[in-house]
Amino acid sequence: MKKELNTTAILVWLSMIFTFLAVITGNLFDRKLEFQIGDVVHTDFFAPFKFENTKLTEHNKELAANSVDDKYMVDEQILQDILINTELLFNYTEEIIALEQSPPLTVPDSVQKQFGITYSSKNINYSQILQQKSNVSLSNSQYEMLLNIPLETLAQIEERILALFKQIYNKGISDTDIKDIDIVSMISEFGISPVYQSLVKSIIDNQLRTNLVLDKQSTQEARSVKSSAVPPVMVEEGEKIIGKGSKITPETYQLLIDSGIVGTNDIDNFVPYIGVIIMISILFIFVILFLRVTSSHTSITSEGKNLLFVLYIMLLLVARLMLGLQFMQFPLGIGAMIIALLINKEIACVFEFVILIVYSIIYKADMTTILYQLITGMISIFVIVKMIERKDMIKVAGLLGLIYGSVYIAMVFLIDLPLTMALVYNMLIAMGIGIFSVILVGGSLPLLESAFHFVTRFQLLELTNPNQPLLKRLLLEATGTYHHSLLVGNLAETAADEIGANALLARVGGYYHDIGKLTCGNYFKENQVQRNPHDSLDPRSSASIIISHVTTGLEIATKYNLPTCVKDMILQHHGCSVMQYFYVKAQNTGIENVEEIDFTYPGPKPQTKEAALVMLADIIEATTRSMQSKFGPDFTIEDLVRKMVKQQLDLGELSECNLFLSDIEKVIQSFIRTLNAMYHERIEYPEKKD
């Protein structure tokens, strides 16, 4: 989840940056430079007023700041660390000396012989122990020397070394100062015996280091003071900036800009930039809020987010590369139409709204043009989704062509323009854009389906064709399962319509959820016409066969190249539920080691609304069929549906999909209506009497 949020944030920020770049380089800002660096001027240019030579001033300030030496401060912790390490060294030394002088631990010879060991206190290397515990690096011989110093002398040496360190560090010491310190003379002055002077020198040398650290704040303050004291370099009014025949250098080019001779148009005014930043920020805040509000019932996959980003950036590039075109001639609705087909209408409408505002800013479009693009774009979204099959493309293209032309003429009449041949020509162009948009969308869909792994309604519709190989196999090899799957598909589709889920996907999921039964159809009740093979099997074997239809279904789906979303439904349509019938039967028959896991479907639980609907439809259809004869005034289809749905909720099987309680009630009502229509009471016809 965190990774997904990070990806979304990155895409939003990139979109904002690209939008800002597209806007500031569009027609909103008209920058026409008279000169460029390297050009030769053909006249003298003089300062029209007194102004600051910002480049030279900044250069002088930088030189002044760099002339200030770094400021350092004393780090008191350095001395404290050294004193602590020194004290620890001598404390450890005293402890080890005491240990050496204590009575040796003896191990009886019989014990040594029994365990094959040879123990003696002489085996202990005390200098090595001291070396491991100490933070002061010395040689082995120096550690041994320490351990051989009398305790009284050892205490004196420690006291004098500590005093030595305090004397050395009574001020700041740099790396250069350390090299100049005469340690030998200082040791002699402190009255340390010549026998131990070399050892003491090593203890001191190995710990000496600078106690000066860079004081960044003081250094920066000093440099700021020095820099602020530099007076600005002024160019006086009338002073020559560049002479005739001279080549423009970076320095003189900056002077021309500072003087207002070059770049005096809108792009040098920061106010429009602020306006653009505010507008774009508000626009994207609206998008983020919309996505948050609709996330409860409209989920966008990572592929969908990538598609939105790619389409948005492509349209921005088109806007920049084709600035010469009239804004009204842009097929702006193409992106929204693609999104409507691959994601949904709501996201498509927001996308159209955002891209329209951005294009309007880039082109400084008038209100009439904006209104034309808004109307045609929104109509395109709701017309394109009527393209159920690919063969509908021609019909939809013709319809959109007429709509584009009609809206254009309506705009002409709205602003009261005379109807000229030029306007008629533009109307024909508008009609052509409408037709071209549909053709381009239809042609790009296969590429986008492949690149972003989308499953379109066209693919799903093809999978509902009864002539599909898998459906024909189901009909011929597992007839009961085939009819059950059709009913599950109808139940799931109707319920999906009620809650705004993908009804066609739910239907396809229902059709194919049980294809794993093809390999052992007679082991499932709906396909049995004579004996039940489970009668001769133990419950564990029966459960294994039943459970295997999930994984077998996935293998068959992979073999027949079914879409990933359909394969997910095959895996998830039983969730992680327990096969209660065989589990209880196994417990009652006295089978040893009955584990619930052996009777549990592998899962996972349904991850989408559509998968959850297929699961519920599967359970409810099968249960309704098996209990059809028991329905009456005391036990209705509604009672059964509510009981089965509540059971799945209590088991937590719906905990990982985005079904809400309001959705579940709508699903229940849909199932009740559909099942009542399927299992309504029929009139019993009387037999004809002879």
Written as six digits, the tokens of 28 are 């909103």
Listed residues 454, 486, 502: the one ending a domain: 454
SS3 content of the chain, % helix, strand, coil (to 5): 70, 5, 30
What is the predicted pLDDT for the residue at 378?
93
Q: Decide if 613 contacts 490 (C-beta within 8 A).
A: no
Written as six digits, the tokens of 384 are 């394109």
Partners of 600 in the β-ladder:
578
- 30 within a domain of the structure (yes/no): no
Burial class (CB in 10 A: 0-12, 13-18, 19+), 296: exposed
CATH of the domain at 601: 1.10.3210
Residue 595's CB is within 10 A of a number of other CB atoms, namely 10
Q: Where are the beta strands (DSSP E) in 196-300?
A: 212-214, 234-235, 240-242
Q: Are strands 240-242 and 234-235 parallel, antiparallel or unpaired?
A: unpaired
- 614 within a domain of the structure (yes/no): yes
Same structural domain, 431 and 506: no
- 492 within a domain of the structure (yes/no): yes
What is the predicted pLDDT for the residue at 24?
64
Listed residues 454, 486, 517: the one ending a domain: 454
Same structural domain, 93 and 210: yes
Residue 432's CB is within 10 A of a number of other CB atoms, namely 15
- 222 within a domain of the structure (yes/no): no
Q: What are phi and psi of 681, to 5 degrees?
A: -70, 135
- 62 within a domain of the structure (yes/no): no
Do you find a cis peptide bond into 250, omega within 30 degrees of 0? no
Would the CA dihedral through 357, 358, 361, 362 be positive or negative? Answer: negative
Same structural domain, 614 and 632: yes
Length of the chain: 690
Cα–Cα dist 527/516, whole Å: 13
Same structural domain, 520 and 571: yes
Stated as kind and residue range, the H or E segment containing 51 is strand 51-52
What is the predicted pLDDT for the residue at 34?
60
Cα–Cα separations (whole angstroms), residue 457 to 481, 503, 506, 571: 25, 10, 12, 22
DSSP summary character for residue 261: S
Helix 469-477 / helix 479-499 crossing angle, nearest 10 deg: 130
What is the predicted pLDDT for the residue at 32?
42
Task: Kindly compute the dihedral angle of the four CA atoms of residues 318, 322, 328, 329, in this order, to the nearest 10 degrees.
Answer: -90
Cα–Cα dist 434/405, whole Å: 8
Q: What are phi and psi of 259, to 5 degrees?
A: -80, -10
Burial class (CB in 10 A: 0-12, 13-18, 19+), 79: middle
Same structural domain, 489 and 372: no
Same structural domain, 195 and 240: no
Q: Decide if 208 contacts 169 (C-beta within 8 A).
A: no
Same structural domain, 100 and 178: yes
Cα–Cα dist 511/493, whole Å: 10
Write the CB contacts of 262 (distance below 8 Å, at least 6 apart in sequence).
Answer: 33, 34, 35, 253, 256
Listed residues 259, 294, 328: the one ending a domain: 259
- 227 within a domain of the structure (yes/no): no
Q: Is 218 helix (H, G, I), strand (E, B) or coil?
A: helix
Closest Cα to residue 205, out of 184, 190, 188? Answer: 184
H-type alpha helices, 464-502: 469-477, 479-499
Same structural domain, 202 and 283: no
- 134 within a domain of the structure (yes/no): yes
Partners of 242 in the β-ladder:
45
Same structural domain, 448 and 465: no
Same structural domain, 519 and 666: yes
- 382 within a domain of the structure (yes/no): yes
User: What does 18-36 look like in DSSP terms, one character per residue?
Assistant: HHHHHHHTTTTS----S--
Burial state string for 503-521 with b = 16 or more CB within 10 A and e = fewer than 16: bbbbbbbbbbbbbbbbbbb
Q: Decide if 668 contacts 639 (C-beta within 8 A).
A: no
Same structural domain, 243 and 290: no
What is the predicted pLDDT for the residue at 327?
65
The residue segments making up the domain with residue 44 are 36-53+236-259
Along the chain (690 residues), what's the average pLDDT of each consecutive run of 10 residues?
Answer: 58 75 58 65 76 83 85 82 85 80 60 51 68 79 82 84 84 78 79 81 83 82 86 81 82 77 57 76 81 64 82 82 68 89 87 87 80 92 83 88 92 80 86 92 84 82 91 91 93 92 92 92 78 81 88 93 92 90 82 82 90 94 81 81 92 88 92 85 55
Q: Tell me how many domains the chain contains.
A: 4
Same structural domain, 247 and 349: no
User: What does 275-329 look like in DSSP terms, one character per residue?
Assistant: HHHHHHHHHHHHHHHHHHHHTTT----HHHHHHHHHHHHHHHHHHHHTTTS-GGG
